[in-house]
Structure 1
Amino acid sequence: MILVGTASWADKNLIDSGLFYPAHIKTPSDRLAYYASQFPLVEVDSSYYALPSERNAALWAERTPADFRFDIKSFRLFTQHQTPPKVLPVDIRVALGAVEKQHIYYHDLPEELRDELWQRFRSALRPLKDAGKLGVVLFQFPPWFVFRQSNLEHIAACARMMEGFRVAVEFRHRSWFDDQHRENALEFERRLGLTHVVVDEPQGFASSIPSVWEVTTPEIAVVRLHGRKRETWSQKGLESSAERFNYLYSTDELRKLVGAVKTLASKAREVHVVFNNNFGNFAQRNARDLAQLLLES
């Protein structure tokens, strides 16, 4: 089973473009219902910026078809991204006490507060899991998260915290798949039952990962397509992240991906293909086109 979708149904750039949702679709619930009538899969990125809520997850499950899937991005603190204290739950902020820094990191929190955040994150995903609509929980690590023992140990700790959930891992530093570390990284994912994320993105940067078309878990494989716009991939000071992903795949480019996606499908029971080229309606256009090409091949 190959499911094709996009990263977010509520991206501001998408809504403001007016190019995907019909004019009468105005509310978040109507947007989700319409999106789910067009695609079988979506990736939730709001969970990266703040902990998701159990209530929202229950509503998402209620408002989508029985066979719809949600891939959920991990909360940023867990993936060692810088995190503004203001996005933490109020009681966690109070327990943490005064923080002088603008951003905190995973190691800045005492273990009991980290454990509480993990517990709340798992609980928030439970309605989707119980409904059979939770795909993977995506841990997308930052560009400074390089291949080294301490980072392997952190990933293993994340996997333990998410026991019972399907965990997918995406790296953003080339050291993970250079000649020295590629096989070790893949074997590490296999050993821990982590789903390797195949990426398509601009090459030639420290933050560039090659497209490694490998399956590390037989249950599911994940492909994330970020576009190929080299000019803005590592550019600082962009007005919005949409500028980084301002890339529309051509039909020929999509056609060349079909065989590789189908090969993954021969090795995994389910394949999730997520377009993250979130500029206007580019992701939705490309997702529809690729789904059609897969049907025709």
Structure 2
Amino acid sequence: MIHLGTIGFAYPGWTGSFYPPGTKPEDRLARYARQFNTIEIDTTFHAMPPRDRVERWAQVTPDGFTFSVKTPRNITHEGLVGADLTLSLMCEFLDTMRELGDKLGIVLLQFPPSFVSVRRQDLIKLLDVLDQAGQGIRFAIELRHDSWWSDDTVRLFRERNIAWAAVDQPTVAVSGVSPDDAAYQGDKRAPRPLIVTSDFLFIRWVGHHDQIPTDNAEVVDPTPRLDWWMRQLRPFLRDESPVRNIYGYFGNNYAGHAPASCRRLMSLLDLPAPPPLELTDSSQGSLF
């Protein structure tokens, strides 16, 4: 299955471009779930949500909808200070996320660029924690320092069926350019090839924070770049592929409006999508 959605759903600028005018904040998620079959919740990175909020997420979304959730920063960025503390924090987080039931898709652990491969033993200790606390849960890990790109890391993840999260973070100047284009050469944020370490893929089309001044319309046409991604994904869309599920999420900073970018990729993949919610603004979140 292919699960495509956005990173977050509660952006005020989406009212009138994705949500109908007058949509109440408490109604956004239910309306969102009429358009996409998954979402990445990244507010969990900043604070542990109360259980009743997580229960409500599950209640207002339809059967078959999935949530991917970002592990709190006090584990990935500020944690790893001791196995007992990390285990306690991770257990608390995962127990809360289990309130989603079968709608819990993937738990993402994103590490900072300062987390380098000389701390491999710290990562192994955390993976041991996941083995204890995460029974029945699937994990993806995002590593951002170049030193991790090695066969050792691949083996470490494959042993546990953990996905190596793929991330596309172009600068605005190249957001609409294929990574194969000569104009792109030299940009240090070129997306890396997909590395398969599990029976699912986890991809984040992020962009760079605060480099696009809008969240209600695409101001860059990402089609050439998404065409490149289509070529990377095509081998995994065949019946004989060992990859059984693909999870992918767009941020507003990728092109200016995550829902429009997500719909654009769905169209390239020939995936059916319900018509956009009726809006008084006919732009539907895209200038292209």
TM-score, normalisation: structure 2 = 0.77
Comparing both structures, which one devotes a greater share of its residues to helix? Answer: 1
The count of corresponding residues between Structure 1 and Structure 2 is 248
Number of the residue aligned with 2:177: none
Q: 1:158 to 1:263 in 2, by over 3 A?
A: farther
Q: Any conservation in 1 of the 2:45–2:71 contact (CA below 8 Å)?
A: yes
Q: Distance between the aligned counterparts of 1:114 and 1:21, measured in 2?
A: 39
- In 1, the alpha carbon distance for the partners of 2:196 and 2:253 equals 26
Q: Residue 59 of structure 2 aligns to which amino acid in structure 1?
A: E
Code of the residue aligned with 1:267 in structure 2: it is P
Cα deviation for residue 54 of structure 1 reads 1.9
Question: Aligned partner of 1:221: which letter?
Answer: L
- Indicate whether 1:67 and 2:35 are aligned: no
Q: How does 1:1-297 map to 2 (within 5 A)?
A: 1-11=1-11, 14-15=13-14, 18-28=16-26, 30-79=27-76, 81-82=77-78, 105-107=79-81, 113-128=85-100, 130=101, 132-148=102-118, 149-160=120-131, 161-177=133-149, 181=150, 183-202=151-170, 204-205=187-188, 208=189, 210-218=191-199, 220-227=200-207, 233=208, 241-243=209-211, 248-265=220-237, 266-278=241-253, 282-295=257-270
Query: Are the equivalent residues in 2 in contact too, given 1:213–1:264 (CA < 8 A)?
Result: no
Q: Could you tell me which amino acid in structure 2 is paired with residue 27 of structure 1? A: P
Q: 2:226 is paired with a residue of what secondary structure? A: helix
What corresponds to 2:277 in structure 1? none
Whole-Å Cα distance in 2 between the matches of residues 273 and 248 of structure 1? 19
- Measured in 1, the distance between the counterparts of 2:122 and 2:142 equals 13
- Given that 1:78 and 1:158 are in contact with CA atoms closer than 8 Å, whether structure 2 keeps it comes out as no
Distance 2:158 2:205 in 1: 22
Provide the C-alpha distance between the structure 2 equivalents of 1:261 and 1:245, rounded to a whole number of angstroms: 30
What secondary structure sits across from 2:34 in the alignment? helix
Matching residue's letter, 2:134: M
Q: Which amino acid aligns with 1:273?
A: G
C-alpha displacement at 1:53, in angstroms? 2.3
Q: What SS class does the counterpart of residue 269 from structure 2 fall into? A: helix
Q: Which amino acid aligns with 1:33?
A: A
Deviation at 1:21, TM superposition (A): 1.4
Distance 1:256 1:280 in 2: 15
Structure 2: gaps of 5 or more residues: 171-185, 272-288
CA distance 1:136–1:114, change in 2 (3 Å): same
How far off its partner does 1:264 sit?
A: 2.9
- Determine if contact 1:248/1:283 at 8 Å carries over to the other structure: no
Instruction: Please tell me the root mean square deviation across aligned C-alpha atoms, in Å.
Output: 2.6
Secondary structure of 1:37's aligned partner: coil
User: Does the C-alpha gap of structure 1 residues 48 and 249 become closer, same or farther in structure 2, counting only changes over 3 Å?
Assistant: farther
Pairwise CA distance, 1:250: 2.2
Q: In the alignment, what sits opposite 1:93?
A: none
**1: CA distance, partners of 2:257 / 2:55:** 29
Deviations 1:224-282 (A, max 9, x none): 1123xxxxx5xxxxxxx333797745222222222322323433111011112447952
Q: Is the CA contact (8 Å cut-off) linking 1:73 and 1:140 kept in structure 2? A: yes
Q: CA deviation at 1:113?
A: 4.7
- Offset from partner CA, 1:141-183 (integer Å, 9 cap, x none): 0000111233332442342232321010011111112xxx2x2
Cα deviation, 1:65-120, whole Å, max 9, x if unaligned, reads 101110000011111x24xxxxxxxxxxxxxxxxxxxxxx442xx66554432222
TM-score of the pair, normalised by structure 1: 0.74
Distance in 2 (alpha carbons) for counterparts of 1:193 and 1:288: 29
CA contact (8 A) 1:174 1:209 kept: no
1:52 positional shift: 2.3
The structure-2 alpha-carbon separation of the partners of 1:115 and 1:184, relative to structure 1 and needing over 3 Å to count, comes to: closer
Task: Say whether the 8 Å CA contact 2:29–2:60 is kept in structure 1.
Answer: yes
Q: Quote the residue 2:275 is aligned against.
A: none
Find the residue that maps to 1:223 and give its secondary structure.
strand
